[in-house]
Structure 1
């Protein structure tokens, strides 16, 4: 049994060499198809990941009124401007926000911190607004437990005394939610359609190589070879074609994806968005392409030979 398998294996390798140009054509077809599959899968899966991150990163910016000093333990004594006093309303608004249903996290950012963020993003011109000239508000960044609860939480927070407004993006955020759902649904559907197209193209290429060797199959049948004996070399040959065709796409996709990840992730991480980590994603994608190539190559050979093995 083992000896027969290795005999068929060696025969399949000899057939690849003997049918040189047809082998090159089949491998090239597999290579081109798998490159397209790898690129589109990487784009679709990362787009789906970013859409999910974008949806989950929607936060509510709660702006406090200018006369509210919720984050200050001490404030200027209204009766004596030269003295400081303990703030009786210290964290009063924060406590009220935390009591709102579906709130999971509350982070304070003073107007000085907000100005620093603007200065880093928009340039040093904003430094002129430091100190008493700062026109910004103290802000509480609020996170809800689920994206669909953001609007309700925002409305409840806006009713709290001392809150100027609660902003979560409104219509734009709803568009983000809708976009993320569309991307997840149609993205996975497109990935499935792409794999189907890959199966169709590769199996038809393998079929052409089998058709070009129908005379060889007929001679083997005339000398009394059994169907299984005829089928095995072609089955293994198709697997070799799929494997060889997956090598270049695997190397190419691995290199390009790592370059793209390094170039894009720095900017995306500032917005709380993350691409699929190449350490885990690239090996998984390579394994998928190799499996698809080998499976389609071998199955394409078997399907194409059925017409020649019928009695």
Structure 2
């Protein structure tokens, strides 16, 4: 027996369900659901079953429930969801990894034909090749200025043609031609628009950042803080090593210009007074290293030179 509920009862049940989800989950994906059918939405729910729940509903009802729940619990962070509830959107409550959930949602896309009046989400290009249509269908191609030729009794498109540009509305001729060619150029599914996590709202592109990207951005930030601190002579943890190094250089410079000295400056003074002391140790090694190849070359030459044969070895002399 199917139990039928009145509209008022359905609203109460919906309100209760949304409040429970707000209490249980701290991560919410706001997804656009344009051109998504009920069967497709059911498949998405099955794919996310376990750690995620998809909730659809009227924006006015969701906004009202969020406001009342925020006042009741005192958690004002939920109010950040209200500006995001614009258009045909739904909420995906999840306890899993946000990036993995978004990738799972993107798998459930369904191809769709180009319907008249629909705004194209992408460019539609008709590829060259045999269409399989008989010559009587050439009028469609002529209207759309698509170059064709008759090949073996069928119409063949000569070059690729950009039939519809992104953002343009699909006309009746374009829709009819794509239907005849069996081309379903568009695909639809839930599209993640924003991410809510513990009161913070950010773009889904943030989920694509890797640890290397974060380290690079952090290093850039540290370098900027260091440069600013050094320019203002304001000590910070990032600039401290550079400040100590610069201070040491200044003190050494003063010590070199005056008679004043300290242990850390003695070696510098000694080097400037007689640099040859520091080169002596390396000189014999360099000389020995440079002479080794020459000695080896001479050794090779001696080995390659054949021994001279004397006349006595041949059993006679020049005077015989």
Greater Rg over alpha carbons, structure: 2
Verify same fold: TM over 0.5: no
Bigger relative contact order, structure 1 or 2 (CA pairs below 8 A, ≥6 apart): 1
TM-score (structure 2 length as normaliser): 0.19
TM-score (structure 1 length as normaliser): 0.19
The structure that is helix-richer by fraction is 1
